[in-house]
Amino acid sequence: MFDGPIQPSRGASPIVLSKAVPQTPEQPRYLVVEGPIGVGKTTLAQQLAEALRRPLLLEPVQTNPFLRQFYQSRRANALQTQLFFLLNRARIISDVPHDDLVGPQLVADFLLEKDRLFARLNLNKHEFELYEQLHDAVAPDPPRPDLVIYLQAPAEVLRRRIRRRGIVFEQRIEERYLNAVVNAYTRFFHSYDQAPLLVVNAAEIDFANNHSHLQALLDQIATMEGSRSYFNPNPTLL
């Protein structure tokens, strides 16, 4: 997974790095894209890995054998679903090559710290106590990202995107649950200070199919200053 740079897929239009995004050590080496289900974090992580010539690290969401049952009955299947995610996220982060001087060089579509976000959202009191014991036993100390990109969008936008991508069991996701996830992410990143944070209004941005949108984000990354910044462009002007 980490044995070389990501290459653009065949047939895809090439992503052109602007002069504002030089290939220098000042670029984020370890960049994480985060956000609620349906917001487009995995797609953007893939695009950034290609553009920045970084290895790509994805969490194995579709391999969770409990996820289908979770969306059918969240209360009955929350604990096993969450523990699967915890163990796999912890294993993946433990396997990330780490250089004590400069840290890893890659693009990822998840933060290990967000695992607790979903545990608090979905587990009852006793389940969460069990989860915390296991978390303390297995979770590694994750490397600090050079930049976290938090994609924001309201629940109704997420719902439309989930429908459009057509994964069958995801169609059972309730709007009420999507709203709860959106609110949980908002609270999480409101106080997040573990790494520089770029908050992106992703409601009308199409990073997958519009390279001008992606280019604008790359330029924003290259010129970002301080520990927190916001990217809220008018998509019709990009």
- Asked if residue 14 belongs to a domain, the reply is no
Residue in 43, 56, 55 with CA at minimum distance from that of residue 210: 43
pLDDT at 6 over 50: no
**pLDDT number for residue 98:** 67
Rounded Cα distance, 48 and 33, in Å: 9
pLDDT at 119 over 60: yes
- Asked if residue 21 belongs to a domain, the reply is no
- Asked if residue 88 belongs to a domain, the reply is yes
Task: Domain of residue 137: give its range.
Answer: 30-237
Residue in 65, 90, 94 with CA at minimum distance from that of residue 80: 65
Residue-wise pLDDT for 26-40, tens only, equals 678 899 999 999 999
- Domain total of the chain: 1
Residue in 114, 146, 176, 153 with CA at minimum distance from that of residue 232: 153
Query: What pTM value is reported for the model?
Result: 0.85
Mean pLDDT of the region 101-126 = 91
Q: State both tokens at 74.
A: 């969240």
Mark out the alpha helices in 95-229 (DSSP H runs).
115-122, 125-138, 155-165, 175-190, 211-223
- Asked if residue 1 belongs to a domain, the reply is no
Min mean pLDDT across 16-30, 174-188, 201-215 is at: 16-30
Rounded Cα distance, 98 and 143, in Å: 8
Asked if residues 33 and 56 have their Cβ atoms less than 8 Å apart, the reply is no
- Asked if residue 24 belongs to a domain, the reply is no
- Asked if residue 2 belongs to a domain, the reply is no
Q: State both tokens at 199.
A: 């908050």
Asked if residues 33 and 48 have their Cβ atoms less than 8 Å apart, the reply is yes
- Asked if residue 134 belongs to a domain, the reply is yes
Residue-wise pLDDT for 141-187, tens only, equals 988 999 999 999 999 999 999 999 888 888 889 889 999 999 999 99
Rounded Cα distance, 64 and 91, in Å: 14
- Asked if residue 18 belongs to a domain, the reply is no
Mean pLDDT of the region 206-223 = 89
Q: Give the chain's mean pLDDT.
A: 85
CATH code of the domain containing 193: 3.40.50.300
Residue in 95, 132, 93 with CA at minimum distance from that of residue 110: 93
Q: State both tokens at 154.
A: 């309201």
Rounded Cα distance, 21 and 121, in Å: 38
